[in-house]
């Protein structure tokens, strides 16, 4: 049974100040909770009997059996499913921190890193984390005014990818200035070079900007490779821009496409 104090505690983690004070965050649903449990220590597991029976290996410092009514009372979702968990933010010993101040050492050599400039919507933030996981990008560096990676809406939008992608917050212009001079720093702009024709490398930093205003002026000055995602067909009247998460997906897909070997085309056989 879920006590009033525990119910109040679970719902308090909807606020960033409480997540920061506790060093914990909230996750819901079997898929998200299951993925996150591989990386993060579970402080509290509140779950139905059916969930606990189906997942006997789930470990937590404290486990509380709840019914559907208690689940609905504690959940921040419209359609809660089976389990709510509180995880500690700290990554296990020996692993890269999931949050923290970023330096150029946060950028692995010969790898692609995402940098997010003032991404404010938690849903977009979570979707970008999920995209990074899909495209094999395990580092995201964010400006301090980006949405919190551990906000409940963000966590749910990652669908568990937060377990595999390290997210750091920093002074983004200072971080970019700290990189070796030869580091490619890409950014998407309306006056950039066509991403499908421009040379791309498999390493460096790809900067994605704010939902309404794009990349800020201070960050834009540090971008040394300006890219454009063109609409189709050229010259046709269209929307002003792409959603930032969609633009991130398009850009990451093109970077990864360049790394794939060209397909072998076999000649048709003739009798």
Question: Under DSSP, is residue 19 helix (H, G, I), strand (E, B) or coil?
Answer: helix
Which parts of the chain sit beneath pLDDT 70? 91-110, 261-271
Residue 18 and residue 72 in contact, taking contact as beta carbons nearer than 8 Å: no
Residue 227 and residue 190 in contact, taking contact as beta carbons nearer than 8 Å: no
Confidence (pTM) = 0.89
C-alpha 30/C-alpha 188 separation (Å) is: 36
Question: Under DSSP, is residue 181 helix (H, G, I), strand (E, B) or coil?
Answer: coil
Residue 27 and residue 58 in contact, taking contact as beta carbons nearer than 8 Å: no
pLDDT single digits (tens) 91-140 = 544 344 444 455 545 555 668 999 999 999 999 999 999 999 999 999 99
Residue 185 and residue 222 in contact, taking contact as beta carbons nearer than 8 Å: yes
C-alpha 224/C-alpha 211 separation (Å) is: 21
pLDDT at residue 235 in the model: 75
Which domains does the chain carry? 4-88 (3.30.1330.30), 104-259 (3.40.1280.10)
Q: In terms of Cα–Cα distance, which of 86, 113, 82, 99 is closest to 186?
A: 113
Question: Under DSSP, is residue 114 helix (H, G, I), strand (E, B) or coil?
Answer: strand
DSSP-derived secondary structure letter, 214: B
């Amino acid at each position: 049974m879920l006590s009033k104090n525990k119910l109040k505690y679970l719902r308090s983690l909807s606020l960033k100040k409480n997540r920061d004070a506790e060093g914990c965050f909230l996750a819901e649903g079997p898929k998200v909770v299951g993925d996150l449990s591989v990386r993060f220590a579970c402080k509290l597991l509140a779950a139905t009997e059916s969930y606990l029976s189906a997942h006997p290996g789930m470990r937590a410092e404290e486990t509380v059996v709840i019914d559907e009514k208690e689940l609905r009372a504690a959940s921040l979702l419209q359609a809660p499913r089976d389990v709510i968990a509180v995880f500690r933010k700290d990554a296990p010993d020996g692993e890269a921190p999931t949050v923290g101040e970023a330096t150029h050492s946060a950028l692995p050599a010969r790898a692609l890193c995402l940098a997010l400039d003032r991404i404010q919507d938690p849903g977009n933030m979570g979707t970008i984390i999920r995209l990074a996981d899909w495209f094999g990008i395990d580092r995201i560096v964010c400006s301090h005014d980006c949405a919190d990676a551990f906000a409940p809406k963000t966590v749910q939008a990652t669908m568990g990818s937060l377990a595999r992608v390290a997210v750091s917050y920093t002074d983004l212009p200072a971080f970019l200035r700290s990189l070796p001079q030869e580091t490619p720093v890409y950014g998407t702009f309306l006056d950039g070079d066509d991403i499908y024709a421009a040379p791309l490398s498999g390493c460096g930093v790809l900067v994605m900007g704010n939902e309404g205003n794009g990349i800020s002026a201070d960050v834009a000055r540090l971008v040394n490779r300006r890219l454009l995602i063109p609409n189709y067909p050229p010259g046709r009247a269209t929307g002003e821009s792409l959603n930032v998460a969609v633009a991130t997906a398009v850009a990451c897909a093109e970077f990864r496409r360049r790394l794939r070997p060209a397909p072998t085309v076999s000649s048709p056989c003739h009798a």
